[in-house]
Amino acid sequence: MKKSMNLSVSRTIFTFSALSVLLASCSLIEKTDKIIAPEWSPEVALPLVNTHISVEKALDKVDTGGWLQISATGDLALLYEAHLATLSQSDFPVITLPDIPVVMPDSQLTLPFPIEQLQRITLKSGSLDFDYQSSLSGEYEVFLRLDDLWKDGSSFVVFLPLSPSGSGSATFDLTGYTFVFSDDSVRFACYARHTGSGQTVTLDGASMLLKGMDYSYLEGNIPYYAFSNDADSITTDIFKQIKVKSLGLADPSLTFIFDNSFGVPVEITSLISASSSDGMTTVPLGHDGLAGGINLLHPQISEVGQSKITEITINKTNSNITDIISALPEVLTYQFGMIANPNGNAFSGFITDSSSLSVGISAEIPLEGQVEDLILEDTLEVDLSDLDIVQAGGFKLITENALPVEAVAQVYFLDSQGELLDSLFDVSSALLSSPETGADGAVVTPGTQTLSVNFSEERFSLLPETRKIRIRAIISTAGGGVSPVKFRVSDQIGIKLGVTARINP
Amino acid sequence: MKRIKIYTLIFVFALISQGRGYAQQELGLHFMPRAVQNLQANPAFMQEKTITISLPSVYLHGLNSGFSYADILRPKPGTDSLMIDVEGAITRMQDVNIIRTQANVDILGVAVKVGPVQVSVFTGTKVSGYFSYPKTLPELAWYGNAGFVDQTLPVAPDFQVSAWHEIGAGLVFRKGKLQIGTRLKYLVGLANVSAGMAEASLTTSPEIYQLQLQVNYEVQTSIFDIGSLENFNPQFEFKPFTGNHGFSGDLGLEYALNDRIKLSASVIDLGFINWTDQAKIYHAEGSLSFEGLDVAEVFEQDSFNINTVLDSLFSDIQTEETAGTFRTSLPTRIYIGGTFAPIKSLRLGGLYYSEFYRGKVFPAFVVSASKDLGKILTAGLTWSVRNRRFDNLGANLLLKLGPIVLFATTDHLSSFLRPTESQQVNLRLGLNVTF
């Protein structure tokens, strides 16, 4: 009985154990084809950017086209050099040679030259038309001479066979001939000479016309003559694109460079003027010397072919340039008022057909001054649809600002219709805090700023719809833009940016 | 009697059909005096019979201390599906989690008892796998590092996979109430891949989340070739005999206080293997620090190549690959226990067990009861506290069919009855012949 009972207990235990194990196994196998994968959405924190961008490194890499200059002391200055205008002989019509008709009543004639007080004129073009009529017949030749017109050491002399009809005409090229005046007159001689006997006879009707004369060299007294170049202008787009409350530059300097190869004294009476785009406000650039005229250097007669350079420097001490810049002009118009021989004095100068007066400008603007509330705004086309793998996130931005500026910014996320989806910050936040500057305006202690922004899942869900980003920044120089600061090549900005993102890969 | 055999076979079949066996040393074996394999728990145990031959037996053991099947695969409420509950599994993990596997095949053994002396010889093959990882590693992978800002997280896994033959001989000597035994084993290492040094930590700075990875990691290999650090290409060619040699020893004693009470203590597998055959050591040391892209530098270089950036990051970690020998220790175990037999066929026992391996201590405490159910059947139960779990109910069963001794033992019955909730499983099946 006892043995039978033991068997029964053992049997029950074994059966129960075996069935339990088998049932457990079956249950698992049954469900293995219905396993739901988990949603993996880790939240990662990564440093994205950790860098220092110095002005020096940036200049090493960026081709500024020479616009930026570094002084020996490390100060920065903007340089601008350009050619503004060139006046040639044709732009300088102080002397033009008129046609000169000559009727010979006798065999010799002396006529005054239409322009007085000239010593020499070398022609690069021009001709002499000659007509005669006579009743002569036989072996005669016509003789024509201009005693004041020279070429290769000889005066102008022509012998023509007399036309059998007794009348004739001829045209002579005067290119290369030089008038050499002794008394502001030109002497003509014309007659017929018998080829056998040598007897001379005055022609009944002889006339000449000096026409189309232009000179390659003119020497003598250049008269008073006021002129200017054609007005041209520079549009300062930068001031169109930005808005700024005030702008001041500590020591801007403009230098106008006149390169003159005219052998004539020229006086400058005006340079440039600045105006708003609508032209309603125009401020001429004043200079202490402009009122009385500024004389340009010119080559002397012994220096034909050379040029003389005159520099006129405009700075804050001798001009109103700081006022002009502060007015943020949108158009700079340059038209140079000039007077040749301003005093009208008799003097001996020259003009050649290659003489020119070119004007260039060299601007040097040390990056020292103050800017208040310079507003930069731009809209970029972007597509953030790929951000749909991010569920939430944020970033942390740390700036260490050793540039003498401060900046606040806001970034707006817009949909394809330009409707506002969200903004990066609740309110515009300071990206760059103001550094401490010294008495000279240079940065002494960098400003540091830490910004943290978190995007909740709800906010992040809108970002993939972003198709445009509008960035608005307001920049002032350090200290609120009220005191001048100085930009130096050693200035730099440290940027550290870390992000957190809960992603759903 | 016939029915008992049938149900016993069903039970054994049910255990086998679960098919998953892993092991640290099982604890129930210590309380099975009729199985000569108990010499693996204490070399001072003397067998009942004059001659005992152990035929090939298998010994499997597995442990995942981090989580159970049910922890990671749960029914999804309101559906008939299962969901992978990674967070639940991570929640269950300890600071350091261990995965262990072990497979021993005791090929052949003979024990001969002559008077107060017992001599034994034996041979077998063992494969041991060990992998430990800090909880922070799966936490990092699953949650990301954003939740661990301003923390330094250990992330280095430690591991060792070894296989070796052992050939040994044992001697037990009885003097009065005291039995002293020892076993000496010559070891032939078949293959090894293990971490020599395993230090790595990841720090996420609170400033802008700069990352710093400190690494001092060493991988040792023998026979098993992983290729190179740059081109991982593992290859293994089995060789029954290698140049990897080692020795280990077991030492034990048993003292009979009286006819009912016995005390025992042993130290097992105190030894090492020198790995010299195709041995390589791969070492990586340094600090990887990613503080963000220096866009100014990128700007200077005209172009940006992420591979260049990564190369520069890893350039601070020095890697070295050398041919060299190394030594690994065996998992050394100690057993301190006693048995009390209120009647001749019933034994109650208690045991303190501890294993020392990879710089860690794995203790356990066991109580057991076993009963000789006639001359044929011996059945026993164990209850152990191990790996911070108290639900380790074990069982052992021994059938003595004439000279044939067939036995099975496990420390984790629940792994068969409730396999989804178990984190550990082990099983030994043995067949001996006694005369």
Kindly state the DSSP code that residue A384 receives in the 8-state scheme.
Answer: -
pLDDT tens digit string along A140-156?
Answer: 899 999 999 999 999 99
Other Cβ atoms closer than 10 A to A451: 16
Structure tokens at B387: 């790996």
pLDDT tens digit string along B143-169?
Answer: 999 999 999 999 999 999 999 999 999
Q: Do B417 and A61 touch (CB under 8 A)?
A: no
Q: Do B81 and A14 touch (CB under 8 A)?
A: no
Q: Is B273 exposed, middle or buried (0-12, 13-18, 19+ CB in 10 A)?
A: buried
- Integer Cα distance of A88 and A291 in angstroms: 25
**H/E element, A414:** strand A405-414
Give the list of residues 6+ apart from residue A153 with CB closer than 8 angstroms, or none.
none
pLDDT given at position B300: 65
pLDDT tens digit string along A158-185?
Answer: 998 888 888 889 999 999 999 999 889 9
Q: Do B208 and A498 touch (CB under 8 A)?
A: yes
- Residues of B whose CB is below 8 A from A396: 207-209
Q: Which of residues 6-35 of B touch A (CB under 8 A)?
A: 7-8, 10-11, 13-15, 17-18
The 3-state secondary structure of A163-221, one letter per residue: CCCCEEEEEEECCCCEEECCCCEEEEEEEEEECCCCCEECCCEEEEEEEEEEEEEEEEC
Which chain B residue lies closest to A397 (C-alpha atoms)?
A: B208
pLDDT band with cut points at 50, 70 and 90 for residue A21: very low
Chain A CB within 8 Å of residue B196 CB:
no
pLDDT tens digit string along B342-378?
Answer: 998 999 999 999 999 888 888 999 999 999 998 899 9
- Integer Cα distance of A29 and B68 in angstroms: 16
Give the list of residues 6+ apart from residue A364 with CB closer than 8 angstroms, or none.
A69, A77, A78, A79, A252, A253, A254, A255
Considering only CA atoms, which of B433, B432, B414, B434 is closest in space to residue B424? B414
Of B7 and B159, the structure prediction assigns the larger pLDDT to B159
Which chain B residue lies closest to A36 (C-alpha atoms)?
A: B83
Q: Which of residues 129-188 of B touch A (CB under 8 A)?
A: 141-147, 149
Considering only CA atoms, which of A158, A173, A248, A238 is closest in space to residue A206? A158
- Integer Cα distance of A338 and A86 in angstroms: 13
The CA distances from residue B223 to A473, B242, B243, B275, in Å, are: 65, 8, 10, 9
Question: Out of A331-335, B221-225, B240-244, B315-319, which region has the weakest mean confidence (pLDDT)?
Answer: B315-319
- Residues of A whose CB is below 8 A from B83: 35-36, 38
The CA distances from residue A36 to A32, A487, B95, B381, B419, in Å, are: 10, 62, 28, 39, 21
pLDDT tens digit string along A370-399?
Answer: 888 888 888 888 888 888 888 888 999 999
User: Would you say A158 and A128 are in contact if contact means Cβ atoms under 8 Å apart?
Assistant: no
**Residue environment code for B285-302, b if the CB has 16+ CB neighbours within 10 A, otherwise e:** beebebbbbbbbebbeee
The 3-state secondary structure of A298-348, one letter per residue: CCCHHHCCCCEEEEEEEECCCECHHHHHHCCCCEEEEEEEEEECCCCCCCC
Considering only CA atoms, which of A239, A249, A260 is closest in space to residue A336? A260
Q: Could you give the 3-state DSSP secondary structure of residue B219?
A: strand
Give the list of residues 6+ apart from residue B100 with CB closer than 8 angstroms, or none.
B22, B24, B61, B62, B63, B128, B129, B130, B131
Chain A CB within 8 Å of residue B374 CB:
no
pLDDT tens digit string along A447-464?
Answer: 999 999 888 888 888 888
Q: Do A37 and B210 touch (CB under 8 A)?
A: no
Specify the residue for token string 């350079």.
A309
pLDDT given at position A7: 43
pLDDT tens digit string along B369-416?
Answer: 999 998 899 999 999 987 677 878 999 999 999 999 999 999 988 888
- Integer Cα distance of A442 and A250 in angstroms: 13
Mutate to test the interface with B, among A2, A12, A17 (most CBs of B within 10 A): A17
pLDDT tens digit string along A265-323?
Answer: 899 988 888 776 566 677 888 888 888 889 999 999 999 999 999 999 988 899 888 88
Q: Do B84 and A57 touch (CB under 8 A)?
A: no
Mutate to test the interface with A, among B136, B145, B202, B208 (most CBs of A within 10 A): B208
pLDDT given at position A287: 83
Give the list of residues 6+ apart from residue B265 with CB closer than 8 angstroms, or none.
B42, B252, B253, B334, B335, B336, B337
Name the percent of chain A lying above pLDDT 90.
37
- ipTM value: 0.78
Q: Could you give the 3-state DSSP secondary structure of residue B151?
A: coil
